[in-house]
Structure 1
Amino acid sequence: MLDAALAQLVRHGYDSLSIDVVAERSGVHRTTVYRRWRDVGGLLADVLHEASVDAWRPPDTGSLEGDLLAVNHEVQTGLTTDPVTVALIAASFRSEQAAEALRAFWADRYDRCADIVRRAVERGEIPAGTDARRLLVAATAPLYHELVLMRVAADARLPDRAARDAATAARAGAFTDR
C-alpha cells in the first residue's frame, strides 16, 4: 500500500492521492486502507518513515571537504534523478502529518551526518564546538534552493562550490558559538 501511495504521488501529485486510489492501486478494499490510516497524511507519514529505515551512512573520504562534496553529489543526484524526494517535499506542504514525518526524516539524516563534523574536529580541520547541523545545512541548502525552490536545471559545479564554501566557513569558525 505504501508503494502504491508513493507511485501515485510521484506520477500524479498530491491532489490525486486518496485512500480510494491507494486501495485500487494496491488491489485491496478501501476499508483495509482506512483501518490502517485515517487519511492521506498518515499514509505519507508512513512512506517517509519507511524511507528513513535504511542503512545509509555519510561518506568518509578522509576530509571534511571531501565528505561534504560526496554528500552534495548524493543530494543533487537524488533531487535530479529520483522524483520521490521532490514529491515528498511537495506533499509535506499539504499535510501536517507528512511535514512532521519529513522533519523527523531530515533530523535523522542530520544526526547521521554529524559524524562528518565529529571526524573533521578529531582531525583538527575545524574548531571544536562546530555546530554540525548548521554546517550541514550551509553545505546542502544551495542545492535545495536551486533545484527545489527555484526549479532550475542542475549545475554540475554547484555541489562542489557549496561544499567548498561551507568547509571554508567551518575552518574559519563560522559554525561555532564563539
Structure 2
Amino acid sequence: MSTQPPGRGPKVRAAVLAATLAELGDGGYAALTIENVARRAGVHKTTVYRRWPDRERLVADVLGEHITTDFPIPDTGRLADDLLALAQAFVAWVTSPPGRMIFTAIYSDAARFAEIDAVRRDLFEYGPRRAQQVVVRAVERGELPAGTDPVAVIRTLIAPIYFQLTVVSEPVDERTAEQAAGIALAAARAGVFQL
C-alpha cells in the first residue's frame, strides 16, 4: 500500500514535465540533463529516474503531451473559414513558447531516438486525422468534389507553415496562415485530392 499523499504523483509529474519543457526552451535537447530538470522541478533526481529511466523517454513524454493538446475543430459552415481557423490555430500553437520548444526538440539531435521520432510522426498524423472532419463536412455540403481525400487537404494546409518554419527557418504569422488556407482550398476545389 502506497503512503504517497493524494495528488502528489500528478503534481510531481506536472512539475517535472513543466521543468523539462523549460529546460528545452533554455538550452535545447543537447544541454538537457535529468539533474537540471529535477532541480528546476524541486524534486530529487531519483524521483525523475523512477518514472523516466532516461532523458529520451522524459522528452518524448513531454512532447507527446503537448502535441496532443487539442485545437478546437471549427464548424463555421464554410470550408474557407474552417481552413483559415485551423491554419491560424496551428500558427498560434507553433509560435507559442511550448510550440517553439517542441519544434526545436523534434528537429534536434533528439529525433534520432525512436520515442522522439514517433512523437514527430504523431504530430503530422494525429492533427490531420482529427481535423479531417472539416473537409468531410465540406464534401457533404457540396463545396468539394466527392471522393476528396480529407487528410491530404489538411496536410496541404499545414505544409506551407511547416516548410517556412523548418526548411527556410522564417517566422510564421497571420499572413502565412491565410496563404496556407488559400493554397489548400484552391487545390481541394480543383479536385487535386480526389481519390
TM-score after normalising by structure 1: 0.89
After superposition, residues 114-133 of structure 1 pair within 5 angstroms as 114-133=132-151
**Change in 2 beyond 3 A, CA 1:132/1:154:** same
How much identity, in percent, do the aligned residues show?
Answer: 40
Return the offset for 1:36: 0.9
SS in 1 for 2:147: coil
State which drifts further: 40-49 or 118-127: 40-49
Which of these two proteins has the greater Rg computed from alpha carbons? 2
The aligned counterpart of 1:111 is 129
Q: How many residues align?
A: 176
Return the offset for 1:120: 0.6
Are 2:28 and 1:10 aligned?
Answer: no
The aligned counterpart of 1:86 is 100
**Change in 2 beyond 3 A, CA 1:20/1:105:** same
How well do the aligned residues superpose, as a CA RMSD in angstroms?
1.8
* Unmatched runs of 5 consecutive residues or more in structure 2: 1-15
User: Deviation above 4 Å: which 4+ runs of structure 1?
Assistant: 52-55
For residue 87 of structure 1, what is the amino acid of its counterpart? M
Deviations 1:56-107 (A, max 9, x none): 3311121111111111112222233x13223212222323212212322432
State which drifts further: 109-118 or 55-64: 55-64
Is the CA contact (8 Å cut-off) linking 1:49 and 1:101 kept in structure 2? yes
Return the offset for 1:7: 0.8
SS in 1 for 2:132: helix
Are 2:52 and 1:37 aligned?
Answer: yes
**Change in 2 beyond 3 A, CA 1:15/1:31:** same
* Unmatched runs of 5 consecutive residues or more in structure 1: none
